[in-house]
Amino acid sequence: MLKDENDFLMISGIQHFAFCERQWALIHVEQQWQENVLTTQGQHVHRRVDDDGFDETRGDLRVVRSMPIVSENLRIRGIADMVEFRRVNEKTDETIVLDGRQGFWTVVPIEYKRGKPKSDDRDIVQLCAQAICLEEMLNVAVPAGIIYYAEIRRRERIELTKEHRQRVEALVAMMRHYYDEGITPRAFYKKHCQQCSLLTICQPKLSASGAKSAAAYIMQHIGGDEE
């Protein structure tokens, strides 16, 4: 059980934050949300895996859907769309033992997305955060995960590197700072703003007010010497 569930940030917010810090703050700090076509399509894709009672084993594969995950270290929590456990022959730091099941099992988080691979890392950091949670919960190394893109109907295997993990830590630290201080960053209008469900609330062309900078906070708490 979490020490204080309300003190934990949502893993799903990492993708929002990596895409647009203001969008994340409007949703998670100011508690504002609006639906549009894209968010509705995204919900339709996730209905395929939103089944918290689904836990099935067939041969060497166990599939768990809508699995609650948490990291006490990062103070983040959420739901993994799907986690696959695959049986292998040898015990390594990438395997665990499952109750009532023979052998050793690897752990692979799978995230479902509506569209196709992005030019930025917003999907990858969300997947990486899930892997970090699973590593902490199960005491196992999770070196890779999978993103399924509905638009192209294909799985993409993602190697979760040290750089990805450092990026997640930096994003979570900045999110924590904004959340604790109640900061909503100023808007920077870009082409992708037209597809945002919060466009009418955000008013990016009109928002010119500044916000407290989290840059110094990140440099102080994570360190600015690493490339």
15 assigned to some structural domain: yes
The pLDDT value given to residue 54 = 85
The pLDDT value given to residue 225 = 46
**Calpha distance 226→27 (Å, rounded):** 31
How many domains, in total, are found in the chain?
1
183 assigned to some structural domain: yes
Distance of CA 223 to CAs 132, 147, 177, 216, 218, Å? 20, 30, 15, 10, 7
Q: What is the Cα 63 distance to its own chain's centre? A: 19
What are 129-139's pLDDT values in tens digits? 999 999 999 99
Q: What does the pLDDT average to over 82-103?
A: 96
- CA neighbor of 39 nearest in space, from 16, 71, 17, 61: 16
Domain that holds residue 157: 5-222
227 assigned to some structural domain: no
Check pLDDT > 50 for residue 38: no
Q: What does the pLDDT average to over 51-69?
A: 90
The residue ranking higher by pLDDT, 198 or 121, is 121
Domain CATH for 107: 3.90.320
111 pLDDT band, cuts 50/70/90, is very high
How many other C-beta atoms can be found within 10 angstroms of the C-beta atom of residue 35? 9
17 assigned to some structural domain: yes
199 assigned to some structural domain: yes
CA dihedral in degrees (129, 133, 136, 139; nearest 10)?
Answer: -100
Instruction: Please report the DSSP string for the chain in residue order.
Output: --S-GGGSEETHHHHHHHH-HHHHHHHHTS------HHHHHHHHHHTTT--TT-EEEETTEEEEEEEEEEETTTTEEEEEEEEEEEEESS--TTEEPPTT--SEEEEEEEEEESS---SSSHHHHHHHHHHHHHHHHHT----EEEEEETTTTEEEEEE--HHHHHHHHHHHHHHHHHHHHT--PPP---GGGGG-TTHHHH-TTT--------HHHHHHHH-S---
